[in-house]
Amino acid sequence: MITKGRKPMAKVSFLGLGVMGFPMAGHLQAAGHNVTVFNRTASKADAWVSQYGGMAASTPAQAAADADFVMACVGNDDDLRSVCLGPEGALGAMKNGAIFVDHTTVSAKVTREMYDVAAQNSVGFVDAPVSGGQAGAENGQLGIMCGGDAKAYASAEPIMNVYAKACRRLGDSGAGQLTKMVNQICIAGVVQGLSEGLHFAEKAGLDIEEVVSVISQGAAGSWQMSNRFETMAKDEYDFGFAVDWMRKDLGICLDTADENGASLPVTAIVDQFYKDVQNQGGGRWDTSSLIKRLRLMG
């Protein structure tokens, strides 16, 4: 909740209150910003207001009107278009000079499309996908990869820093989304490698905790190993970044690779492994569930 008497620093709207957006918007309100939220399921917006204060709007346009910054964290390309465009979309309602910051992981193509629409409305647009998962959002420790005009980024950076561990502009519009693709490509291979390593250790009769205590201190160490090996060993996956969302992201990576000529053989294979996990009923499991696929195979 906002401390009484604290002067709001900016008028901010936040579109999308999922597992990421809900706490991110909360950090903005707690930092003293005047926050209005929108969510397609109105009950989530009402719950957010009950927890943090601020206001809820019935449409993206209503939330965006008179805002200095409009932040979005929705599901996919179509969801982004939905909250941005049309008579109830945010971009047409934003005032001149306001800035739209998109934290959704989407294609660079739709990002550039929205950037052009925003420019036609004298609005800045920054693509700013995030990494760090639900825990990073809740703890205000997200990595934010940004693309867009330098001036728009410079204005929006202090707002994003409220929930960022690291925030950086990587280039023009779309550069943030392309960097997020690199992030997901790297994660896919690491999680599969970790899954195979832990599965091998189990089959070899080794103590996984003892093994990891040694190898994590050397070249095999990774964030995934440090943060996921215990739950992988316990066969627990009801948390973190869902397989369904990872497949969406990897699909974007593979489509973009087809366009730019990049070769992603490991990514393509791991994407199909995640498809196997979905077929096993694990669409909402954490991405570390790749090891469960190996266990079910024998």
d(CA 263, CA 112): 23
Catalytic residue among 180, 203, 234, 248: 180
Q: Which residues contact 104 (CB under 8 A, 6 or more apart)?
A: 16, 72, 73, 74, 75, 76, 79, 80, 129
Residue 44 annotated in active site: no
Among 131, 128, 160, which Cα is nearest to 146's?
128
| Other residues' Cβ atoms within 10 Å of the Cβ of residue 28 | 26
d(CA 185, CA 269): 11
Contact between 139 and 150 under an 8 Å Cβ cutoff? The reply is: no
Tokens of 199: 């599965």
Contact between 105 and 80 under an 8 Å Cβ cutoff? The reply is: no
Q: Which residues contact 164 (CB under 8 A, 6 or more apart)?
A: 140, 141, 142, 143, 144
Contact between 97 and 72 under an 8 Å Cβ cutoff? The reply is: no
Which amino acids are annotated catalytic?
180
